[in-house]
């Protein structure tokens, strides 16, 4: 991932057109220049993009989606977030609904443009390749649902190692072209949860996230970017949607998720709360959108609004919501994954930078070393000067010591002072003193080097014992310089440098063996050089002594030529010089002896080193022997491995040839199978397409049926709620009526007993009047009418008086309550109406059956006559034509059908006659109109309250009667068609009886009359 930068959330506002129901209202939104919008004239907002109702889908895509598409191709994550109230056009603008196929939205246009640019880029770059995968997720009532995968998987939201939000368990489908991608989009859209509300007939009941993942590969570079299309469910008020049951619970869940999203937007957009806690975990919706809001994503919020005046509150809330989102700033970065080569290049660059920094450090160290070298040179020069001065001082000291000794012993006379000064000031003596001092300094340095060599030898011995080396090739020799100061400096530099520290951490055994002979050789060379210098000095001193003797002789000869007066002085001077030179030679001899002792010590040390070198040489020889043995064993193993490898290689070559032959056979077989499978695939594709079309139709039909079932369920729920309310009311009414009934039961019982007695008396009176009428035939019509009315009143009541049960009543009747009066009067009216309707129904049914029977009998006679005529003509010709045969067959079938219908009508007439015979009213009265007049007169005498209550009861009974009638009509319609088919079957069976013998029981059933019981045609017993 490359360096991050910040990007603000862009906001686009799209206002939908007015619907047919909203055209009578005024628009609450006005558009102003510079992407400004105002609501109701007092609230103004400014956004990045503003689209009025006449803006098309292409304009929206070109202005606000194309920039996000370009960033998406560059490797940035992008998100489009559609927000707004329900029915504001979010799904239409996004284009992820199954019903929006003509005017494509953002997603279909994005898909086609994406593949177009990817193919263009692939044609320009040879090594460029890409992979596109999609996923479709739904958040329904805080439950994650994979719309492209199987149900039942547990989907979780997590953070990866880089802090990015990802969801596990979601199925990603790899696509190759726009058509395949759109098929997955349609599949997920069909599976998405939708329902109908009062505000939107196809409302989304869940939040949907359609994700497109793009992976681009070019020159060992990998870009992975994601594009999320988020279609949020619309905010809604239950008061306006009238949602109940599941719809209400879905609306509550939607509003709670949007509330949590609003809290996150407020927390991210408020400068004062920028460092406070962001409540991403309050809802799964905000958790899913964590990267899109405040994370690594280029985000566009598409706020959809309604211009209707009735939705001004929701529109204002939407615009405030979107205005807060403009203050959110995301941290965006290119999601780049480098290959192995790029990682190595970065490592090389990093190491170069480290080396460059180390070079700077080494340069500073080298400068320091140069300064130290210069300082050492200056100190060496100073040391030489000091050694010369020290030699001079020592000469003067020895001179003074010699003078003091001579003065103490009285050997040297005062005249000898000048000659002694001459000897002491001789330059050769001073030079010898300087050489002696330099030799002392070199001796000290040699001792230091010897001590250092002994320490290294001790370390080498420990290294040899602790870490033996088996091969000289594994431990290359490392040569160490003999400059102690330089080694110390380099050792310090090596401690500071990481690279040198790794290289010079420890000496191996071979390194110690290689260093020791070199150092020993240098020490031997140095000892030989010291010996040579000392020998030269001894020879030089001997020669100098001889020269001094000659010089002493020359002055003596000269002094002999002098006068005798000065001979004595010269002799004394020469003697003094000889004595001083003798002392000097003695001193030099002692110094030479000291040097010889030092040389002997050095020779002893050299001998010890030779012995140690011999020991190490033996060790080295042993190690070389072991190495040679190891190499020999290794070569032997290599030879064995080579032989095994060659043998195995030959076997593999034989197997390879066999496999090649099998491969060729399999290739030919595979080609044949490929052709067969291709034809099968084509056939299956056609079948799949056909099944897809059928599935689409089935899905549409199922959706319609589910909508209807959902509507019925809503009706049932409403009815259930209403019934519950009525039940509560009825419970209270029941309690009240129970109390009233308890009071009325006593009065009702008493009243009933009195009415029974009175009606028994009326029955007796009616019997007496009837007897009088029978004995007096001259009774006029008025008397007969009165007699019929009396009989009707007595029988309509339904009471049959018995002499044994009649009782005498005393006292007056108490007034009955209103409910009792209504109950009894309604019962009397129902009884009278039942008597009238029963008589009228029987009379009408009898007339209808008689009319049908007469018409069927006439038709049967005509058919029989015509059939007889046709048969007579055919017998005359002795041949039957096809037309005559078909006519005869038709007439036979029709005659049989008429016979069955006549049997059925006769059976119905018998049932009616039997009902009349069983009717108890037949003997009592001849005119059924009296019952109707009795009911009508009773209705006319009703009071207002009684008429109102009886009317309500009759209305309820009428409604129930209508329902029953309608149900009977619907249930009898299929029975009529069934009856016709059964009649046709019976006719066919009767015709078959002429050609084959049937079961006697079946013949008896077909030949005899039939009856209908429980909807079945059965033989009459």
Q: How far is CA 426 from the centre of its chain?
A: 104
Is residue 501 situated within a structural domain? no
Q: Specify the range with the lowest mean pLDDT, choosing from 477-486, 521-530, 616-625, 990-999.
A: 477-486
User: What span, in angstroms and rounded, lies between the C-alpha atoms of 1019 and 999?
Assistant: 14
State the pLDDT at residue 814. Answer: 38
What 8-state DSSP symbol labels residue 168? E
Average pLDDT, stretch 309-333? 85
pLDDT at 625 over 80: yes
pLDDT at 274 over 90: no
pLDDT at 362 over 80: no
Of residues 282, 260, 163, 148, the one with CA closest to residue 210: 148
User: What span, in angstroms and rounded, lies between the C-alpha atoms of 925 and 795?
Assistant: 10
Whether residue 86 is annotated as binding a ligand: the answer is yes
Is residue 726 situated within a structural domain? no
User: Per-residue b/e over 173-202, b at no fewer than 16 CB within 10 Å?
Assistant: bebeebeebbebbeebbbebbbbbbebbee
Please state, as a whole number, how many other Cβ atoms lie within 10 Å of the Cβ of residue 299. 27
Contacts of 274 (CB under 8 A, 6+ apart): 268
pLDDT at 116 over 90: yes
User: What span, in angstroms and rounded, lies between the C-alpha atoms of 665 and 351?
Assistant: 55
pLDDT at 196 over 60: yes
State the pLDDT at residue 534. Answer: 59
* pLDDT band at residue 475 under the 50/70/90 scheme: very low
Q: What are the pLDDT digits (tens) for 855-875?
A: 888 888 888 888 888 778 777
Q: What are the pLDDT digits (tens) for 514-563?
A: 444 555 565 556 556 666 665 665 565 555 444 444 444 444 434 334 43
Whether residue 196 is annotated as binding a ligand: the answer is no
Q: Specify the range with the lowest mean pLDDT, choosing from 183-192, 346-355, 538-547, 709-718.
A: 538-547
State the pLDDT at residue 49. Answer: 92
State the pLDDT at residue 65. Answer: 93
Of residues 444, 322, 249, the one with CA closest to residue 39: 322
Average pLDDT, stretch 840-862? 84
Q: Which domain holds residue 135?
A: 5-338
pTM for this predicted structure: 0.39
Contacts of 974 (CB under 8 A, 6+ apart): none
Whether residue 90 is annotated as binding a ligand: the answer is yes
Last residue of a domain, one of 338, 357, 383: 338
Opening angle at CA 88, ends 84 and 93, nearest 5: 90
pLDDT at 776 over 70: no
Average pLDDT, stretch 731-746? 74
Backbone φ and ψ of 214, nearest 5°: -115, 125
Q: What are the pLDDT digits (tens) for 788-807?
A: 555 555 444 443 333 333 33
Which of 177-181, 396-400, 430-434, 986-990: highest mean pLDDT?
Answer: 177-181
* pLDDT band at residue 657 under the 50/70/90 scheme: confident
Q: What are the pLDDT digits (tens) for 229-248?
A: 998 887 767 666 666 677 77
Whether residue 88 is annotated as binding a ligand: the answer is yes
pLDDT at 565 over 50: no
Whether residue 87 is annotated as binding a ligand: the answer is yes
- Number of domains, the chain: 2
Average pLDDT, stretch 902-923? 70
* pLDDT band at residue 275 under the 50/70/90 scheme: low
Whether residue 85 is annotated as binding a ligand: the answer is yes
User: What span, in angstroms and rounded, lies between the C-alpha atoms of 164 and 160?
Assistant: 6
Is the pLDDT higher at 302 or at 33? 302
Average pLDDT, stretch 2-29? 81
State the pLDDT at residue 339. Answer: 58
Is residue 231 situated within a structural domain? yes
Last residue of a domain, one of 295, 320, 338: 338
pLDDT at 1015 over 60: no
Encoded tokens for 357: 């920094």
Is the pLDDT higher at 358 or at 43? 43
pLDDT at 503 over 80: no
Q: How far is CA 348 from the centre of its chain?
A: 37
Is the pLDDT higher at 467 or at 669? 669
Q: What are the pLDDT digits (tens) for 34-55?
A: 888 888 777 888 899 999 988 8
State the pLDDT at residue 132. Answer: 93
Average pLDDT, stretch 115-138? 90
Q: How far is CA 902 from the centre of its chain?
A: 77
* pLDDT band at residue 207 under the 50/70/90 scheme: confident
Q: Where are the alpha helices (DSSP H) in 878-918?
A: 882-918
Opening angle at CA 727, ends 721 and 731, nearest 5: 155
Is residue 953 situated within a structural domain? yes
Encoded tokens for 425: 């000031």
User: What span, in angstroms and rounded, lies between the C-alpha atoms of 838 and 127?
Assistant: 97
Q: Specify the range with the lowest mean pLDDT, choosing from 121-130, 739-748, 903-912.
A: 739-748
User: What span, in angstroms and rounded, lies between the C-alpha atoms of 766 and 789?
Assistant: 9
Whether residue 609 is annotated as binding a ligand: the answer is no
The CATH number covering residue 65 comes to: 3.40.850.10
State the pLDDT at residue 211. Answer: 92
State the pLDDT at residue 754. Answer: 67
Encoded tokens for 958: 């009428």
Is residue 505 situated within a structural domain? no
State the pLDDT at residue 578. Answer: 55
Is residue 663 situated within a structural domain? no
Is residue 467 situated within a structural domain? no
Average pLDDT, stretch 837-865? 83
Backbone φ and ψ of 824, nearest 5°: -70, -45
Q: What are the pLDDT digits (tens) for 61-90?
A: 999 999 999 999 988 899 999 988 888 888
pLDDT at 421 over 70: no
Helix %, strand %, coil % of the chain (to 5): 70, 10, 20
Of residues 585, 505, 590, the one with CA closest to residue 540: 585
Whether residue 91 is annotated as binding a ligand: the answer is yes
Average pLDDT, stretch 346-361? 76
State the pLDDT at residue 946. Answer: 79
User: What span, in angstroms and rounded, lies between the C-alpha atoms of 313 and 208?
Assistant: 25
Encoded tokens for 849: 């059956």
Is residue 834 situated within a structural domain? yes
User: What span, in angstroms and rounded, lies between the C-alpha atoms of 696 and 187?
Assistant: 10
pLDDT at 133 over 80: yes
Q: What are the pLDDT digits (tens) for 926-974?
A: 446 667 777 777 777 777 787 888 888 888 888 888 888 877 777 777 7
Which of 251-260, 522-531, 1009-1018: highest mean pLDDT?
Answer: 251-260
pLDDT at 300 over 50: yes
Of residues 240, 168, 249, 156, the one with CA closest to residue 205: 249
Last residue of a domain, one of 308, 338, 368: 338
State the pLDDT at residue 859. Answer: 85
State the pLDDT at residue 990. Answer: 56
Q: How far is CA 15 from the centre of its chain?
A: 32
User: What span, in angstroms and rounded, lies between the C-alpha atoms of 56 and 971?
Assistant: 55
User: What span, in angstroms and rounded, lies between the C-alpha atoms of 996 and 998?
Assistant: 6
Q: What is the mean pLDDT of the chain?
A: 72
State the pLDDT at residue 62. Answer: 92
């Amino acid at each position: 991932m490359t360096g991050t930068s910040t990007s603000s959330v862009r906001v686009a506002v799209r206002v939908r057109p007015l619907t047919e129901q909203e055209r009578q209202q005024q628009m609450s939104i006005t558009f102003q220049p510079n992407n400004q919008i105002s609501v109701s004239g007092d609230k103004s907002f400014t956004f990045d993009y503003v689209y009025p109702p006449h803006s098309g889908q292409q304009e929206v895509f070109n202005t606000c989606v194309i920039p996000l598409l370009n960033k998406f191709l560059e490797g940035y994550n992008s998100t489009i977030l559609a927000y707004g109230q329900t029915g504001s056009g979010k799904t239409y603008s996004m284009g992820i609904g199954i019903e929006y196929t003509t005017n494509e939205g953002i997603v279909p246009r994005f898909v086609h443009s994406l593949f177009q640019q990817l193919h263009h880029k692939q044609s320009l770059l040879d090594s460029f390749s890409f992979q596109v995968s999609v996923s479709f997720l739904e958040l329904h009532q805080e439950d994650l649902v994979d719309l492209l995968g199987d149900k039942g998987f547990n989907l979780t939201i997590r953070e990866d190692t880089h802090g990015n939000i990802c969801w596990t368990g979601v199925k990603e489908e790899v696509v190759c072209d726009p058509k395949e991608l759109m098929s997955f989009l349609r599949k997920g859209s069909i599976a998405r949860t939708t329902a109908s509300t009062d505000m939107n007939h196809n409302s989304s009941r869940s939040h949907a996230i359609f994700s497109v993942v793009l992976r681009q590969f070019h020159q060992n570079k990998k870009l992975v970017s994601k594009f999320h299309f988020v279609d949020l469910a619309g905010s809604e008020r239950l008061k306006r949607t009238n949602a109940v049951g599941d719809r209400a619970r879905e609306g509550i869940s939607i509003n709670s998720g949007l509330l949590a999203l609003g809290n996150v937007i407020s927390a991210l957009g408020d400068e004062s709360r920028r460092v406070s806690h962001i409540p991403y975990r309050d809802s799964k919706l905000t958790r899913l959108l964590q990267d899109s809001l405040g994370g690594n994503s280029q985000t566009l919020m598409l706020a959809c609004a309604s211009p209707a005046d009735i939705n001004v509150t929701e529109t204002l809330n939407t615009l405030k919501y979107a205005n807060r989102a403009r203050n959110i700033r995301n941290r965006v970065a290119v999601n780049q994954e480098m290959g192995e080569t790029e990682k190595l290049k970065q490592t090389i660059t990093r190491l170069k930078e480290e080396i460059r920094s180390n070079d700077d450090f080494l340069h500073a160290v080298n400068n320091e070393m140069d300064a130290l070298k210069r300082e050492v040179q200056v100190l060496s020069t100073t040391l030489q000067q000091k050694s010369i001065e020290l030699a001079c001082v020592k000469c003067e000291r020895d001179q003074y010591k010699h003078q003091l000794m001579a003065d103490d012993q009285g050997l040297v006379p005062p005249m000898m002072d000048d000659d002694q000064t001459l000897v002491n000031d001789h330059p050769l003596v001073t030079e010898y003193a300087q050489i002696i001092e330099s030799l002392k300094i070199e001796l000290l340095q040699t001792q230091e080097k010897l001590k250092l060599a002994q320490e290294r030898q001790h370390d080498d011995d420990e290294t040899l014992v602790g870490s033996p080396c088996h091969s000289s090739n594994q431990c290359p020799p490392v040569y160490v310089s003999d400059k102690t100061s330089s080694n110390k400096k380099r050792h310090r530099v090596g401690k500071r440098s990481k690279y040198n520290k790794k290289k010079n951490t420890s000496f191996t055994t071979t390194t110690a063996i290689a260093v020791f002979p070199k150092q020993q050789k240098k020490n031997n060379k140095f000892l030989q050089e010291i010996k040579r210098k000392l020998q030269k000095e001894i020879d030089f001193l001997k020669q100098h002594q001889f020269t001094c003797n000659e010089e002493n002789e020359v002055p003596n000869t000269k002094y002999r030529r002098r006068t005798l007066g000065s001979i004595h002085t010269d002799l004394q001077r020469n003697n003094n010089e000889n004595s001083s030179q003798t002392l000097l030679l003695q001193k030099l001899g002692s110094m030479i002896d000291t040097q010889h002792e030092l040389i002997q010590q050095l020779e002893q040390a050299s001998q010890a080193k030779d012995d140690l070198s011999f020991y190490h040489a033996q060790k080295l020889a042993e190690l070389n022997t072991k190495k040679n043995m190891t190499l020999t064993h290794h070569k032997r193993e290599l030879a064995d491995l080579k032989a095994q490898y060659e043998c195995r290689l030959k076997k593999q070559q034989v197997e390879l040839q066999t496999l090649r032959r099998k491969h060729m056979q399999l290739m030919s077989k595979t080609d044949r199978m490929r052709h067969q499978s291709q034809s099968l695939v084509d056939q299956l594709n056609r079948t799949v397409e056909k099944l897809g079309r059928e599935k689409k139709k089935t899905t549409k039909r199922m959706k319609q049926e589910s909508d209807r079932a959902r509507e019925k369920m809503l009706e049932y729920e409403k009815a259930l709620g209403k019934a519950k309310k009525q039940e509560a009311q009825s419970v209270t009414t029941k309690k009240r009526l129970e109390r009233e009934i308890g009071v009325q039961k006593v009065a009702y019982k008493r009243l009933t007993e009195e009415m029974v007695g009175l009606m028994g008396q009326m029955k007796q009176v009616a019997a007496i009047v009837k007897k009088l009428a029978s004995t007096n035939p001259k009774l006029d019509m008025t008397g007969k009418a009165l007699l019929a009315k009396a009989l009707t009143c007595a029988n309509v009541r339904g009471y049959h008086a018995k002499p044994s049960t009649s009782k005498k009543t005393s006292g007056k009747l108490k007034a009955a309550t209103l409910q009792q009066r209504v109950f009894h009067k309604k019962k009397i009216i129902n009884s009278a109406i039942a008597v009238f309707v029963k008589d009228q129904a029987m009379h009408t049914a009898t007339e209808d059956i008689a009319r049908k029977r007469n018409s069927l009998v006439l038709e049967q006679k005509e058919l029989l006559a015509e059939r007889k005529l046709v048969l007579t003509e055919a017998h005359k010709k002795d041949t039957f034509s096809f037309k005559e045969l078909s006519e005869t067959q038709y007439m036979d079938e029709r005659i049989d059908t008429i016979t069955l219908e006549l049997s059925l009508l006769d059976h119905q007439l018998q049932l009616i006659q039997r009902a009349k015979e069983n009717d108890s009213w037949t003997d009592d009265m001849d005119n059924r109109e009296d019952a109707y007049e009795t009911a009508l007169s009773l209705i006319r005498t009703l009071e207002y309250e009684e008429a109102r209550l009886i009317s309500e009861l009759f209305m309820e009974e009428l409604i129930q009667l209508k329902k029953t009638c309608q149900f009977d009509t619907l249930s009898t319609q299929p029975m009529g068609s069934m009856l016709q088919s059964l009649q046709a079957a019976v006719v066919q069976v009767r015709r078959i009886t002429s050609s084959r013998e049937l079961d006697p029981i079946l013949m008896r059933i077909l030949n005899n009359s039939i009856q209908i019981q429980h909807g079945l045609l059965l033989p009459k017993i």
